[in-house]
Structure 1
Amino acid sequence: MRILLIDDDELLTQRLYDFLTSQSYAVDIAQDGEAGWDYTQAASYDLIVLDITLPKLDGVRLCRRLRQNNYSSPILLLTAKGESSDKVVGLDAGADDYLVKPCTLEELSARIRALLRRPKTAATPVLEWDGLSMDLSTCEVSYQGQVLPLSPKEYSLLELFLRNPQRVFSSSTILEHLWGFGDAPGEETIRTHIKRLRRKLKSVGIETMIDTVYGMGYRLQTPPPLPTPTPPSKEDQARAAAIALWEKFKSPILERMASLDKVAALLQSGNLSPELRQAAVEDAHKLSGSLGMFGFPEGSRLAKELEFSLRDATNPAQMEKLQPLVAALHQELEKTPHVSGMELLQALDDEPSSLPIAPKPMPLLERSATPEFKILAVDDDPIILKTLQYLLPRWGLNLVALNNPLQLWDALVSEKPDLLILDVDMPQENGIEICRLIRNNDDWSGLPILFLTAHRNPDIIVQLYSAGADDYVAKPFTEPEVITRIFNRLNRHQLAQRWQKPTA
């Protein structure tokens, strides 16, 4: 089951993410309403957990927009707003359930299970007919964006027809529905209200909507069939997914940009300390390794050039290049992610075979038959680790992520991974030295080791293999590339183990 969690409280979302994933749910996180909307357009979810107070687009308006676009999956509002009026607004917007913070994780889990057990029917507060829309939460009727003013009885009459589109209502039946026993008028009043309603509908361009069935009463006319929608192209789907993925990781990337802005200003004034410059080098290095994965190949190139300039900050020519490079990188990140550079996003969840994994994939690459391998990844860049957390479980790969290489040896003992992923440049330890130490350790000398690195210098690559690396993937990487390399190493390791087993 796949859940979308939309909340701007990072501490809460991380806690919920950990809990829900431990319950075997696949979880995506959006931190504002617009990003949440993009996620729903890029992927299918079995349930949405939604906060009300959100930046850009609040939860009530997002919920209403989803229901107006025929989004039928359950929506659970999880919010600190616990007044009855807030609950009414949320439920009228189309939410299926409402849970007030703070709540226990056990109660949240029970609510989720209950919602997922329900039949998948639309819980929309909007009734529609061929361009006409009736919003039950605001009592507003519109046709193709034009508001249609109705009297209370005209509104009730139209609602009756919209809620029962196949039914014929006699005048006496309409009287029973719209008037009480003590104030029911004659049946001629129904004819008058029908005539007035038809006149108002005609004023906005609806010529025929309510049919007269002679001798029986009135009914809603069947609207003309809608044209068959053209399914979104692979490019459109990839673009939507690229935007959603960029929104998911945008915040920490922009934090690194703010760090570069500060360093560029200090460098101009001559007040840049060696410590800050080194931190900026690391930020630029990480950006060069990650931006291309989110559809910004030019951003990766600019970040790499920034890294080189910062390393040689004593050179006046490099110093003059720094601020223009930072400005150019800002301009690049304001653009829409570049789809063609993101092959990984062309792989839809319901079409795993569309991944260009390999010309003749080995049996282990069959997703349905893939055993759950354990992958240990060590990288001080949280964006890389989160990207791996997003990609690897889709292929039956259980990821253990470490941002501190000093914890590696304990993790090797406790997790017993099938493959190790390392970065080269980490503040506490160098990945190449770690690889060399592992190869000299009898317990782990045979462990497959894959490097993910932004380095493309041939000397560095030679050092990787000399230290005992099995393979490397250059950052920025794509899903097909990294998944193929991982399974290739796992397959070869399994084959090697079979050959090493003594025969009876």
Structure 2
Amino acid sequence: MRILLIEDDECVAKALKNVLQQQNYVVDTATDGQTGWDLIQTFTYDLILLDVILPKLDGIKLCQRLRDRKYQTPVLLITAQDSSDRKVMGLDAGADDYLVKPFDMPELLARIRVLLRRQSKPILQALEWGDLRLQCGTCEVTYGDRVLHLTPNEYRLLELFLRHPQLVLSRGEILDRVWAVPEAPKEDTVTAHIKGLRQKLKQVGAPADLIETVYGLGYRLKQPAPTTKKTKLRGASLPQSQDSIQQQTKAALAEVWEKIKYQSSDRVAVLEQATISLLDNKLTEELREKARQAAHKLAGALGIFGFAKGSRLAKHIEDIWQADVILDRSEALHLYEMVMALKREIQRPSLSQLDRPLPRQQSIVMLAIDGDAGLAEQIVKLAATAGIGVKIAPNISAAKAAIAHLEKFNRLSPADVVILNLSLANTTAADLAILAELTNRTPPIPVLLCTRGDRLSDRIELSRLGVHAFLRQPFNPEEVLAAVTRLQQTRSHPTKILVVDDDPEILTLMQALLEPWGIQLNTLEEPSRFWAILEEFAPDMLVLDVEMPQFNGIDLCQIVRNEPRWHKLPVLFLTAHTDDRTIQQVFTAGANDCLSKSILGTELVTQIFNRLGQMRLMQSIQ
């Protein structure tokens, strides 16, 4: 994670930077407020440590400017002025926390962890990917029972991959996350560090391609082999229903392909016609453009349906038509051979037909009562009068079994509650692991904790495990049940996604992949109607194509980011263009993610679920 430290006292700045770097944070420093502002406009930070008395632009005015410009980055003010008026002034300016010098370093680090947890995913105790394990507290990395000895940059690089295991990270993104400003190298350095990290992983028995290259996009972790243990992120585990997501996705892909494969054949026919016309010296400019568009559509769609070779052939053919050069006869014959190979590729057997089990729409909330059996009994009686289904569980294992029973037999009422009589003092590591499994799967089980204590350590530990809300006594059963209902209503509200793409095959595919999961989808083939549909539909996520008639996706993303109402809307690009220039334009415009249309549908669904999970986490925090 990247922190900006704005402090004009050189000794204090050096001490803080050294301590933070020992905790594996990437730290940039500025000695005045104006330089700090310039860095904020240039880079993305997870947190800002800000002194109040600064040259050029003081900390209060800088904080006000941040909030006026809609920056949501957490700000922790640090100053020697301890008067109440100054604290109020700093907090009113938009600071998230305030710490007076001199302060204890452990307290500063604890406050930083709290602010980072509010801003993003829960901070994890350990990250695991197959046999690879990174212990966050001790910074120890092991593969199986063998220890990896990594440099600080290699450690931060590996931690970045483990915190974002499903994402493809470009070299530019890696530079921004792993290296501070003064030491920021060129992108070739990332390649060298990836190579060194792969070699060290291989030396302890890891697969040579554990960190795999996604050509044209960047790097990501490769899925562990089925024979290894399941991926676990303690405090935020990966979806436990991944197999069901894959089965559901494959079935949807097969069904859609049977409906639209004839359209793909028609597009190949256009390519065949254009190539024959080229060989006969009868090619018109209109037919050339039709051929380029047909190849572009095929390159985008075929990979999603599992025709990876066909997608590569179509992209190569598109590049030839795009180049607008005069081909000699041998080159034209080679182009014709590629078109014929593409034609054979899409005529091979389609994806296997699988049963298509519809995912169950769940409304389960787990209410954890901190060792108060009397309160649990009162809530059960009150819930019965309100028509809310209740299961009582004496321990976390029993709660997991009760939830599995509800799901198996689909016995879900409008708001099912599993009440867990949990004693925080007697909770074991195994119990916490089960709790993490429940709260961080797809879809997660929201957890509301009712406790008589208010120890910061308990809150931090349970927040890391995904507990969504806390209630501290004194409270009455009515208040507890109202909080449960709010959690359930937030969760049951359908997620809305707007997809804008001029390819009807992609729109049909997105409907087949996402609507069975309870997602409300609105598809738009004509970009000129975008703004009216955006305002009317009010989506929770926006999926855009890059190349479209009249208005391209980059233009649409920029106007979304310029509008205060939509500037925080998650935007995902789904495009056939994966060159470095296009990827840079996409992220500069404000995109959250960018995926190639050549990826399999399973990965596409997973990426969308990941982004939706982050969005729901922020809603829970808010």
TM-score when normalising by structure 1? 0.46
Q: Which has the larger radius of gyration?
A: 1
Pick 1 or 2: higher relative contact order, CA cutoff 8 A, min separation 6. 2
TM-score when normalising by structure 2? 0.38
